[in-house]
Amino acid sequence: MNAAPSWRRRALVRRAINAAITLTICLFALFPILWGLSTSLKPSGRILAFPPELLPSQPTLEHYRLLVKTGIHGPLANSAIVSFATVVLALVLGTLAAYALARFEFRGKRAILFAVIAIMSIPLPSLLVPSFIFLALLGLTNTLTGLALLYTTYQLPITVWILYGYFRTIPREYENAAMIDGYSRLEALRKVVLPLSGPGLIAAGLFVLTFAWNDFVVAVAMNSSEGARTLPVAIYGYLGFFGREWGPLTAAAMVSVVPVIVIFALFQRYFLSGMSGGGVKG
């Protein structure tokens, strides 16, 4: 190895430094989650032990068992249903709106695009009271439907914006070709544009999904019934339930974090190319 040319050694050193920096940043970002994971696996008595230990010396699943016993699956299912419905609704409506904005010239188009951006800049908390009144008038408080509709409303602007940008990177010729080949515009959208929009759809979908899955503020404001409780609200419940019970709390948090991490890991490649608004097309 000592015969290795100097440029190769330098490249190696540089790569090592890169790796070290990346690792440090990752550890820094991941530490709370790792700490939560570790805490959730410790018996209650040892959680606040000093000195703290990162790797639990007596790992246990007792907190997870408690979650199952207290019925975490209810809120888990609620969150899954609401998130799924929100993603589907936002993508369907967002696709149609974004496609129209990307392809047609019509009066008020600029105003709509401006509104889409303007709405994104309104802070969510300021919308809570009007949203609640509106939802109450419709009789949709304490329902999953109400939540899904609200989430869709909040997330539609960003969905439209991402898809609008993505559709504009797809050459019109594909649709023109499809229409001349005997397909209507909607069929062309479905058979040609959407299959080419995977990265854009995934990027928008992940945005919506993380919002709907993680939202606490809206859910806690709109719902007070146990039946429509979503996971983030349920986690909060574990905090107060047994005083400061860190074990069940972190265990519930882990349950909530894992699905999002898995989905992101699966789609991260598309997410990045979708966000950079283009991606590779044949």
* Residues within the interface to other proteins (CB under 8 A): 171, 173-174, 176-184, 187, 192, 195-196, 281-282
- Long-range contacts (CB closer than 8 Å, 24 or more residues apart) made by 175-179: 175/103
Nearest approach, Cβ of residue 5 and other proteins (Å)? 38
Token pair, residue 282, equals 């044949």
Work out whether the CA dihedral 258, 261, 264, 265 comes out positive or negative. negative
Q: How far is the CB of 136 from other proteins (least distance, A)?
A: 46
**Closest distance to other proteins from the beta carbon of 263 (Å):** 23
Other Cβ atoms within 10 Å of 250 Cβ, number: 23
What token pair was written down for 245? 């019970």
* Nearer to other proteins among residue 84 and residue 183 (C-beta): 183
Residue 235 has which token pair? 């986690």
Q: Cβ distance 273 to 166 under 8 Å?
A: no
In this complex, which beta carbon is closest to other proteins, that of residue 150 or of residue 193?
A: 193
Residues 140, 159: Cα–Cα separation, whole Å: 24
Q: How many Å apart are CA 282 and CA 277, to the nearest integer? A: 16
Helix axes 246-275, 198-214, angle to 10 degrees: 160
Distance CA 250, CA 210 (A): 19
Going by the DSSP 8-state scheme, the letter that residue 192 receives in this structure is: I
